[in-house]
Chains A and B, each alone.
Chain A
Amino acid sequence: MAATAFLYRSVLGDELLLARAAAMTSRNATLFRSARSYSMLLISGFAEPIFYLVLVGWGVGSLIGGMTLADGRHVSYLSYVAPALLAFTAMSGALAETTTNFFGKLRYQRQYEAVLNTPLTPGDVAFGELGWAMLRGLLYCTAFLVVMVALGATTPLRALAAVPVVVLVGLAFGALGMAISSFMRSWQDLDYIIAVEFAFFLFSATFVPLQAYPTALQVIVRVTPLYQGVQILRGISLGAPSWSLLGNAGYLVVLTIVTMAISTRRIRRLFRT
């Protein structure tokens, strides 16, 4: 116990108790169950990635035929694009929670003022919010994985193996979104986050292999976060894993830790606890 407390204190500069963080998460879950419009919004989030899957995978796919993988196998365009859309789903689900919603609670609803007057620490708040963001992404991704299996884009076993990766992608983007939102000044600033999110969606080797991009773009794409998720999930979903995927996963783990350390410090600073 003392060791973990020391670890949290040195990384986050704060105390963290997962039981207290869970109280923050369950606050969001309660709101989800009670507010009708909020749950409608969440449910419509299921539909969006599935529309994209059909639109791009099947519609645009019919104009492309199939894709030839590095190992020489030929796969349908739907199976090729589906894992990338899965990574996008995990990203956008988590980001929706830690950008718009988190920013609203932080600056306008002044909700954390009340929360921080209870035994919860800034670290608990940050991790509690991250937990809910990840769960929201996971919720969408589970539905998406079921559709992928139903359409024959992957096998049930591979879909199961994709779940922990989806969790990791959700954590990384939830944490990144929260850290950035904590520096935002207005709703207009959030629009820039949305534009960057959309650029990630289009340029993360999502629709075509990395090699199809111009060389300069390839270099940039390689260091962006969504690309890491796309690589891992595509490797798993198409049954072509490699050791390099561990590097992609390591990137996401480090991103999560660093951005959570920033968020916790920002919350403490903004509320001077």
Chain B
Amino acid sequence: MTPAMAVLEFRLAKYRHYWRSATFNSLATPVLLLFGLGMSVGSYVNRHGSLGVPYLEFVAPGLLASSTLQLAMTESGAPVFNSFHWERSYFGMIIAPPRTVDIIAGELAYQALRITPTAVIFTALMAAFGAVHSFWAIALPLVAVLVGLAGAGPMFAYSASVSSVSMMSVMLRFSLLPMTMFAGVFFPITRLPAGIRPVAYVLPLWHGVQLSRAAASGIGTATAACGHVLVLLLWCAAGVAVAHGRFVKQLTP
């Protein structure tokens, strides 16, 4: 077994003890939002007719992307911080065969696995309620994993840098919430003033939402899709690069 696999196994062994409540949690928020907004606000939006598609179809792929990003950022927040400060499990790993790169690779692989079941269930729900119109929807869980990794990379770097676990909620509030606003999850970014619209193009979530919407509807070009994938990979890579430096600094005596 490679050292990175051992790190992954460590995470999975822990996950085995709380997977029920974890799955419930990661699904409760997006599913409640999907039906809460889809049913209530949806009927008003549809009556107003300003979107062109039913609100449920618009908001569902966006919710998949935003809730996955939230899940990945939460999971690579406190648990990673914990491994440095309270549990100090990384300090145990680093004197065993795993190197810093192995730890990060194992953690990334865990994020991908952690996201997959939630994304598959949410995609199935979307299909069941008619929010999916293309064969490409099969790729939705993969899109979700990509969005998750784009959030996890930078979050590793953050979690390895802060000195208090309360800073996790601060990060989620100041990055996730505003991002949801700018990324066209609940309304198209064409509703934003033209001056601040370019902010969306930098954010990983906007690319995730676009990719997810394209997969659900089957509408979009290959060039655009490749562009979105590239930006998401870039966010992940940049995050991992910074995280590596932070991990080395924390774990070097």
Spell out A's residues near B (CB within 8 Å). Answer: 36-38, 40-41, 44-45, 47-48, 51-52, 54-56, 59-60, 62-65, 188, 191, 194-195, 198-199, 202-203, 207-208, 212-213
* B186, CB-defined interface residue at 8 Å: yes
A186, chain B: closest CB distance, angstroms? 9
* A63 touching B50, Cβ below 8 Å: yes
The 0/1 profile, CB within 8 Å of A marked 1, for residues 19-47 of chain B is 00100110011001100110111011100
> In whole angstroms, how far apart are the Cα atoms of A213 and B37 in the complex?
11
Q: Which residues of A contact B166 (CB under 8 A)?
A: 37-38, 40-41
> In whole angstroms, how far apart are the Cα atoms of A36 and B162 in the complex?
12
The 0/1 profile, CB within 8 Å of A marked 1, for residues 208-238 of chain B is 0000000000000000000000000000000
* B187, CB-defined interface residue at 8 Å: yes
* B44 touching A64, Cβ below 8 Å: yes
* A37 touching B44, Cβ below 8 Å: no
Q: Which residues of A contact B180 (CB under 8 A)?
A: 55
Interface set, chain B 164-212, CB cutoff 8 A to A? 164, 166-167, 169-170, 173-174, 177-178, 180-181, 186-187, 191-192
* A207 touching B41, Cβ below 8 Å: yes
> In whole angstroms, how far apart are the Cα atoms of A11 and B29 in the complex?
37
From A44, A62, A188, contact of B169 by CB (8 A): A44
> In whole angstroms, how far apart are the Cα atoms of A48 and B169 in the complex?
11
From A38, A47, A52, A63, contact of B45 by CB (8 A): A63
* A47 touching B177, Cβ below 8 Å: yes
> In whole angstroms, how far apart are the Cα atoms of A36 and B178 in the complex?
23
> In whole angstroms, how far apart are the Cα atoms of A208 and B47 in the complex?
13
Given contacts A37-B164, A37-B166, A54-B181, contact A208 B28 (CB under 8 A): no
Closest A-chain residue to B186, C-beta based?
Answer: A60
B213, chain A: closest CB distance, angstroms? 16
Spell out B's residues near A (CB within 8 Å). Answer: 18, 21, 24-25, 28-29, 32-33, 36-37, 39-41, 43-45, 48, 50-51, 55, 163-164, 166-167, 169-170, 173-174, 177-178, 180-181, 186-187, 191-192
From A47, A48, A213, contact of B40 by CB (8 A): A213
> In whole angstroms, how far apart are the Cα atoms of A256 and B40 in the complex?
30
List 22 A-B pairs, Cβ < 8 Å: A36-B164, A37-B164, A37-B170, A40-B170, A44-B173, A47-B173, A47-B174, A48-B177, A51-B181, A62-B50, A62-B191, A63-B45, A64-B45, A64-B48, A195-B25, A198-B28, A199-B32, A199-B36, A202-B32, A207-B37, A208-B41, A212-B44
From B55, B163, B169, B186, contact of A55 by CB (8 A): B186
> In whole angstroms, how far apart are the Cα atoms of A212 and B21 in the complex?
32
* A51 touching B177, Cβ below 8 Å: yes
* B41 touching A51, Cβ below 8 Å: no
* B18 touching A203, Cβ below 8 Å: no
From B40, B43, B174, contact of A44 by CB (8 A): B174
Main secondary structure of the interface of B (DSSP, over half): helix
Q: Which residues of B contact A36 (CB under 8 A)?
A: 164
Q: Which residues of B contact A194 (CB under 8 A)?
A: 25
> In whole angstroms, how far apart are the Cα atoms of A198 and B70 in the complex?
15
* A41 touching B21, Cβ below 8 Å: no
> In whole angstroms, how far apart are the Cα atoms of A151 and B30 in the complex?
29
From B29, B40, B163, B187, contact of A198 by CB (8 A): B29
> In whole angstroms, how far apart are the Cα atoms of A38 and B166 in the complex?
7
Q: Which residues of A contact B48 (CB under 8 A)?
A: 63-65
A42, chain B: closest CB distance, angstroms? 9
* B44 touching A208, Cβ below 8 Å: yes
> In whole angstroms, how far apart are the Cα atoms of A254 and B49 in the complex?
44
* B45 touching A212, Cβ below 8 Å: no
* A198 touching B32, Cβ below 8 Å: yes
* A48 touching B186, Cβ below 8 Å: no
Q: Which residues of B contact A47 (CB under 8 A)?
A: 173-174, 177
> In whole angstroms, how far apart are the Cα atoms of A52 and B29 in the complex?
15
Q: Which residues of A contact B44 (CB under 8 A)?
A: 64, 208, 212
> In whole angstroms, how far apart are the Cα atoms of A235 and B163 in the complex?
45
Given contacts A51-B181, A202-B37, contact A63 B51 (CB under 8 A): yes
A224, chain B: closest CB distance, angstroms? 13
* B170 touching A44, Cβ below 8 Å: yes
Other 6 A-B pairs with CB < 8 A, given A37-B164, A195-B25, A208-B43: A44-B170, A47-B173, A59-B186, A60-B186, A63-B50, A198-B29
> In whole angstroms, how far apart are the Cα atoms of A169 and B66 in the complex?
30
Closest A-chain residue to B59, C-beta based?
Answer: A60
Closest A-chain residue to B180, C-beta based?
Answer: A55
From A54, A60, A65, A188, contact of B41 by CB (8 A): A60
From A48, A54, A63, A188, contact of B18 by CB (8 A): A188
B179, chain A: closest CB distance, angstroms? 10
> In whole angstroms, how far apart are the Cα atoms of A52 and B25 in the complex?
21
